[in-house]
Amino acid sequence: MTWNVRTRHQATLAQEQGVIQKDWGGRLSVALAFPNSYYVGMSSLALQILYRQFNAHADVVCERVFYDAESAAAGEPLLTLETSRHVSEADVWAFTISYEMDYFNVVAMLRQAGLPPLARDRDEGWPLLIAGGPGVTMNPEPMAPFFDAIIIGEGEEVLEDLIELFQQAINAPRAKLWADLAAIPGVYVPALTPPIQEQGSRPQRVPRLWVRDLRRYPPVSSIYAPETEFRGMHLMEIARGCGRGCRFCLAGYVYRPPREQPLQDLLAWAEAGLQHTSRLGLISAAVSDHTQIDELATSLQEMGASLSVSSMRVDPISVPLVRAMRASGAQTLTIAPEAGSRRLRDVIAKTQTEDQLLAAVELAAELDFSQIKFYFMVGHPTETQEDMEELVAFIHKARAIFKRRIAMNATPFVPKAHTPFQWMPMTPARVLKKRQRWLQRQVGRLRVAVRADSPSWAEIQGVLSRGDRRLAGVLLDMQEISVRHFWQVMQQHGLERDEFLGQLPVGRMMPWMIVESGVSNQFFRYEWRQAQRSRLGPHCPPDSAGCLSCGVCDEDWAFRFSDGKPVRRSRPIKLSDGQRR
């Protein structure tokens, strides 16, 4: 079996460019794991940034590990990709977790590697397990019992400190290493930190890390691989974070404050990338929000680059960027209205107007795109039948303009920790299914293809997104990965779905508040009230109205445009009666 795995690994490595292979002798060994398939994992720029940063140290060897369901089911060993070493031989096993549904794969990988899954059952004879990524940053509690340490926030900021500690003390008694890890800001050691509900009036919280100068860690591809979503593309993160303030969006809060890469750096990174491939992928929460996106798109097109983007806004849309994409051969323009009615867009703080959305559709028709893809969210607790009918009416208007293929994704709303909707109930799966079926019937008449994500699995995601440490026992006891079995095991553990999916009390201390996100609770409550009134809040960076003072920035730092100039507060805004920030 080991021979079969190694043969597959060799075939994969033969197709890659940029792989780093080192002898393990005398080096700190790190297994860098992505708990999903190679295809998904190698589409993650975060994985490549960490891979390069670990391997930049001559005395560190870092190799990749991915989850393969077929390999696990066949009883094959879990081996690193670069040299097919058993993961259990590594000094450190580092996971980057992007998505709650990958929690199941984390547990499966621990079992496949033969490690005791719970940190309390592992001593210094086992690899030290650490985790990071957006999937565990805002609520690490369901995964907490499995890991020795969890990095809260952007891991680049603390990686050098971790490497230095591991080189000095990786073989120290585990309790001593835990104590040393807990002393590093942004590092959460669950074994030494009680759940926040069990702490006193002055709880111990873990601050979220964020990188103040992104240029210190070039966010560009280090490996080029054909078997990924981006197929040999040179990826560049042109900005991090989003200041739009969409109230449902975890990324808008996990990566606050928004930061841009300077134009000159982006052009230099692009020039280096074009030595490997003509295809450039621009990564950001909203690529079109970069303040110099028009100049960037034009310059990259003049350099001969073929452009793709991760996402964009249409308020306003960057016409030079869309033209450059089409000239590069892009066939699909992706737009995310999220809601069909102005009322619901105001509730969720998605500020795009219908006129702006339809202008983007007209541009796609003018430039002869083959397809438009729309992303909508269904099942928000305030959603009404009238909102759904306005969504269908919008699709009618889009179809009247765009005669080619239209596809749409109907994603169930899932409340997320550390967002203004963190207390909101989740619409039951049966209601979500009914709305999705209705939507499919209505737009199907317009020859619009609808992809409807599973409401049943969305409920499970909702439990994991707002859960606590008790869910580790549920994950550990699951013998099969299915919706039915998940709820059975939940019941065996005495846990009810409404405890996690129902309306939560706004004033209660929640499990995820072990993380100090940087955004004040006062700000979340303010946005919660604004949503109930269907009112919008200011963007970040602040406009002429001033800064809303969410709490992330401090006196030494404020949002910086790509020219390096900070945006300062013009005047405070009233958050609640008698209180200002």
How far, in Å, CA of 581 to CA of 574, rounded? 7
How far, in Å, CA of 127 to CA of 143, rounded? 17
Please check whether residue 219 is in contact with residue 237, taking contact to mean a CB–CB distance below 8 angstroms.
Answer: yes
Listed in sequence order, the residues at least 6 apart from 516 whose beta carbon sits closer than 8 Å to its beta carbon are 205, 206, 207, 208
Grouping H, G, I as helix, E, B as strand and the rest as coil, residue 564 is coil
Please check whether residue 128 is in contact with residue 177, taking contact to mean a CB–CB distance below 8 angstroms.
Answer: yes
Q: 114 — phi, psi (to 5°)? A: 80, 20
Nearest to 432 by CA among 447, 409, 410: 410
Domains of the chain, residue spans: 2-193
Q: How far is CA 154 from the centre of its chain?
A: 11
Please check whether residue 234 is in contact with residue 545, taking contact to mean a CB–CB distance below 8 angstroms.
Answer: no
Listing DSSP states for 378-417 in one string gives: E--TT--HHHHHHHHHHHHHHHHH--SEEEEEEEEP---T
Listed in sequence order, the residues at least 6 apart from 478 whose beta carbon sits closer than 8 Å to its beta carbon are 104, 107, 485, 486, 489
Reduced to 3 DSSP states, what percent helix, strand and coil does the chain have, rounded to the nearest 5? 40, 15, 45
Alpha-carbon separation of residue 278 from 14, 237, 299, 410 (angstroms): 20, 17, 14, 34
Q: pLDDT 10s digit of each residue in the chain, 581 long?
A: 677 888 999 999 999 999 999 999 999 999 999 999 999 999 999 999 999 999 999 999 999 999 999 999 999 999 999 999 999 999 999 999 999 999 999 999 999 999 999 999 999 999 999 999 999 999 999 999 999 999 999 999 899 999 999 999 999 999 999 999 999 999 999 999 999 988 877 889 999 999 988 888 899 999 999 888 888 899 999 999 888 889 999 988 999 888 889 999 999 999 999 999 999 999 999 899 998 999 999 999 999 999 999 888 898 899 999 999 999 899 999 999 999 999 999 999 998 999 999 999 999 999 999 999 999 999 999 999 999 999 999 999 999 999 999 999 999 999 999 999 999 999 999 999 999 999 999 999 999 999 999 999 999 999 999 999 999 999 999 999 999 999 999 999 999 999 999 999 997 899 999 999 999 888 899 899 999 988 877 677 665 444 657 888 876 666 555 455 555 544 444 555 333 33
Q: What is the DSSP letter of 131?
A: E
Fold classification of 2-193 is Rossmann fold (3.40.50)
Nearest to 310 by CA among 46, 36, 90: 46
Which strands sit side by side in the sheet containing 371-378, from one edge to the other?
Answer: 332-338, 371-378, 405-412, 448-452
HEC assignment per residue over 239-279: EECCCCCCCCCCHHHHCCCCEECCHHHHHHHHHHHCCCCCE
Q: 445 — phi, psi (to 5°)? A: -65, -20
Q: 324 — phi, psi (to 5°)? A: -65, -40
pTM of the model: 0.93
In one-letter notation, the amino acid at residue 49 is I
Please check whether residue 118 is in contact with residue 482, taking contact to mean a CB–CB distance below 8 angstroms.
Answer: no
Place of tokens 């009112």: 535
